[in-house]
Amino acid sequence: MKGLVINETLKAWHGRRIGLAMMMMSILILFIFIVAIAIDQSFGLLLTTEEFVTIGSVLHIFIMLYSFVLVTGAISGEASTGTIKQLLIKPVSRHRVLLSKWLTNLVISFLLYCFVLALLFAFGLFFPHVVPLSSTFYYLFETALYTTPSLIFYVALATLIAVITKNTAVTIVLTILPYFFADLFVLLAAEYDWASWIVFAHIDVFNNYNPVSLAPAPFPSMWASIGFLLIHIALMLAIAHVIYKRQDVL
């Protein structure tokens, strides 16, 4: 298993350009920083550390999209190019092969998100802060934790679709669609009692259970909502593993 994880990490780094993704995220944060400085110079509106970090936190969208690319490339990409044969001819179970793919790329995506948050905090130090820096750091740490269920869910969804379709473009499109439009569906269904049982209503844990959030929570308990989400994640991954074991990937 260790060898499979190392192999997937190297393929992700070299084949799916993790270094380039990190550089692009750094450039985007630098751009936000320059714009904030320019606004201060032109209009005298200087952001605080907390405001800069909050604005920059929207970059999690790019991390989420990149996680789709990572998982899809590891599964659909290798199936379409035939490079998966190099793994399957070895005496390793398909369960371990698939597990190493989605788990490795999930961890990489989470670490990349932590990298972005750390960079935001570093650039934010150039601005004045009105609350202790420890509070801002805790906010970033809390943001990372609240985002984790959403990241795991979409990685699981991308894994399932990639295993079924074995098509990179189709997988990315079918994963992106619910990511951007599921909230609209949940909003339209909000007037019905069964709306709280829609799994997409539970994905945004932070906004659902933030004390200052105006949106009604789907379940009274945050942990019940996370548990409901984890059941769907486990179900999607289980189905993906069963299909991956039985299908002809050669």
The average pLDDT across 4-21 equals 72
**From CA 202, how far away is CA 154, in angstroms rounded?**
12
Half-sphere exposure of 91 (CA within 13 A, CB side): 0
pLDDT for 140: 85
The confidence band for 90, taking pLDDT boundaries of 50, 70 and 90, is: low
pLDDT at position 22 over 60:
yes
Query: By three-state DSSP, how is residue 163 classified?
Result: helix
pLDDT at position 56 over 90:
no
- Give, in order, the Cα–Cα distances in Å from 214 to each of 50, 207, 208, 217, 229: 21, 8, 8, 9, 21
pLDDT for 233: 93
The average pLDDT across 113-132 equals 86
Query: By three-state DSSP, how is residue 137 classified?
Result: helix
The confidence band for 239, taking pLDDT boundaries of 50, 70 and 90, is: very high
**From CA 172, how far away is CA 106, in angstroms rounded?**
16
Residues 148/110, Cβ–Cβ less than 8 Å: yes
Residues 175/165, Cβ–Cβ less than 8 Å: no
What are the contacts of 152-155 at 24+ separation with CB within 8 A? 152/106, 152/233, 153/199, 153/203, 153/229, 153/232, 153/233, 154/64, 154/67, 154/68, 154/179, 155/67, 155/71, 155/102, 155/105, 155/106, 155/109
Going by the DSSP 8-state scheme, the letter that residue 210 receives in this structure is -
In percent, the amount of the chain with pLDDT more than 90 equals 8
Residues 109/151, Cβ–Cβ less than 8 Å: yes
